[in-house]
Amino acid sequence: MRVAPQVVIDSSQKAVLEQWARSRSLPARQVERAKVVLLASEGSTDLEIAAELRIGNHKVARWRKRFLKSGLAGLEKDASRRGRKPAIPASVKLEIVHKTTQCSPANATHWSTRTMASEVGVSEATVRRVWHANGLKPHLIETFKVSRDKRFAEKVDAIVGLYLNPPEHAIVLCVDEKSQIQALDRTQPGLPLKKGRGATMTHDYKRNGTATLFAALNTFDGTVIGMCQQRHRHQEWLKFLRVIDDVTPPANRYT
């Protein structure tokens, strides 16, 4: 016949256990465990404790052993569990991420949830959840351009240094041109936005020519100087520089 291990408690442990057993604010499971240990310390068997508390004798044996192993701390919370087995294995998620970031589909420019689901053998919703969890958006492409100027890094350092630490009493202007802006107009007026319907606009348009927008940004106070011209030759550029010279205060200019 199996004999349960004896439970011996000192006065301080007994005081805490009796307080827990009488408590009305602690979780019911913690109160029950305290009663199990108190009865066990009095010499009651697992079957006797189970009958008195109306619980299973295996449960009594579990908390008797837990107290002998971990003391009062072992009664306050449950032991860690393995948890539910994930519906989608980690290897499948890694495969989805790898294919999304490193491969391309055979007959398309980028993966869709349907093509990836068919490729990996999971549902479309699973692919969507994996992409969302990893911040992946295959349909978005960001463009970039690498300069061929051999002195590009040197020029960047000079310009950034000028913005961050301009000469004393100087006005620093960032000047550029936006060339070939098309002046477009729709062939028919559209309808305004209303409840249940967005604003309308004809798919065709008429072209009223082009214009060049010159603009200068004063990096000190954020003011912008602008001028529109029909062409963007060096003559128009020099004209714009004269406009800047006329509207800026007569301080030391550094452009």
Are both 121 and 165 inside the same structural domain? no
| 37, pLDDT greater than 70 | yes
Residue 171 belongs to a domain: yes
Are both 97 and 172 inside the same structural domain? no
Are both 129 and 167 inside the same structural domain? no
Residue 158 belongs to a domain: yes
Three-state SS at 147:
coil
Mean pLDDT over 46-63 rounds to: 90
* Residue percentage of the chain with pLDDT more than 90: 29
Are both 123 and 168 inside the same structural domain? no
Look up the CATH number of the domain holding residue 41.
Answer: 1.10.10
Q: Which of 3-12, 126-135, 165-174, 211-220 has the highest mean pLDDT?
A: 126-135
First-residue to last-residue Cα distance in the chain: 98
Residues 158-179 pLDDT 10s: 988 888 888 887 777 777 766 6
Are both 18 and 69 inside the same structural domain? yes
Residue 238 belongs to a domain: yes
Residue 6 belongs to a domain: no
* Residue percentage of the chain with pLDDT more than 70: 94
Are both 113 and 35 inside the same structural domain? no
Residue 255 belongs to a domain: no
Are both 239 and 179 inside the same structural domain? yes
pLDDT for position 135: 92
CA 98, 103, 109, 114: dihedral to nearest 10 degrees? -50
Domain count, the chain: 3
pLDDT for position 194: 84
- 133 phi and psi, to 5 degrees? -65, -30
pLDDT for position 88: 85
pLDDT for position 108: 86
Q: Give the number of other Cβ atoms within 10 Å of residue 68's Cβ.
A: 15
Residue 190 belongs to a domain: no
Residues 204-253 pLDDT 10s: 888 887 778 888 887 777 888 888 888 878 898 888 888 887 776 655 44
| 39, pLDDT greater than 70 | yes
Residues 55-74 pLDDT 10s: 998 999 999 899 888 888 88
Q: Which domain holds residue 49?
A: 11-76
Three-state SS at 212:
strand
pLDDT for position 175: 73
The domain boundary, picked from 76, 98, 118, lies at 76
Least confident of 113-117, 183-187, 219-223: 219-223
Contact (Cβ atoms closer than 8 angstroms) between residue 120 and residue 92:
yes
Binning pLDDT at 50, 70 and 90, where does residue 191 land?
Answer: confident
Are both 57 and 105 inside the same structural domain? no
Give the C-alpha separation, 55 to 26, whole Å: 19
